[in-house]
Amino acid sequence: MTIDKIVSVVKGFGVSIVEITGGEPLLQNQTPLLCSEIMRLGYKVLVETNGSRDISTLPDGCIRIVDIKCPGSGNQDFYENNISNLNRFDEVKFVISSIEDFNWALDKLTVNDLSNKCTVIFSPNTSTVNPSQLAQWIIDRNVPVRLGIQLHKVIWGEKRGV
């Protein structure tokens, strides 16, 4: 779809917040322009990215939700300069698959002073870490993060398309 077509579709939803996600949105060269156009119309725009691409291409005011892949994910293709481009409106998300991932994420959080730059979320990989276990690790270490739970899985289970 063209940017004009996407903007037209967005207008039809009657919402005030638009989140661009799915695959890696920054692989599309026009994503920053799309964000600008949607923001120009008064929408709040969020872009959820896997962190492998430069987030500085996104317009000011666009909220960036950036994954930092833990070793347990098997994918550590992260663009390190993204850390210096974070601001207080942005979010960083770590998906925790083990205590080793937790400790790795805690180190990354501390070394980069992430909790003073943006919102930090630790989310459990529920196939390997129970949410209550991750919550306990966070409490025990007094880690300044939010616990992120995939509510769609709590509400609908593993059902796709919701």
Residue 16 inside a domain? The answer is yes
Query: Which residues constitute the domain of residue 89?
Result: 68-162
Q: What is the 3-state secondary structure (H, E, C) of 54-108?
A: CHHHCCCCCEEEEECCCHHHCCCCCCHHHHHHCCCCCEEEEEECCHHHHHHHHHH
For residue 38, the number of C-alpha atoms closer than 13 Å in the C-beta half-sphere is: 33
Within 8 A by CB and 6+ apart from 133, the residues are 124
Tens-place pLDDT, residues 111-128: 999 999 999 999 999 999
Residue 62 inside a domain? The answer is no
Q: Specify whether 136 is located in the same domain as 159.
A: yes
Residue 63 inside a domain? The answer is no
* Of 28-37, 48-57, 71-80, 141-150, minimum mean pLDDT range: 71-80
Tens-place pLDDT, residues 29-53: 999 999 999 999 999 999 999 999 9
Within 8 A by CB and 6+ apart from 161, the residues are none
Number of domains in the chain: 2
Query: Can you tell me the distance from the alpha carbon of 67 to that of 65, in angstroms, rounded to the nearest whole number?
Result: 7
More confident site: 16 or 151: 16
Q: Specify whether 72 is located in the same domain as 147.
A: yes
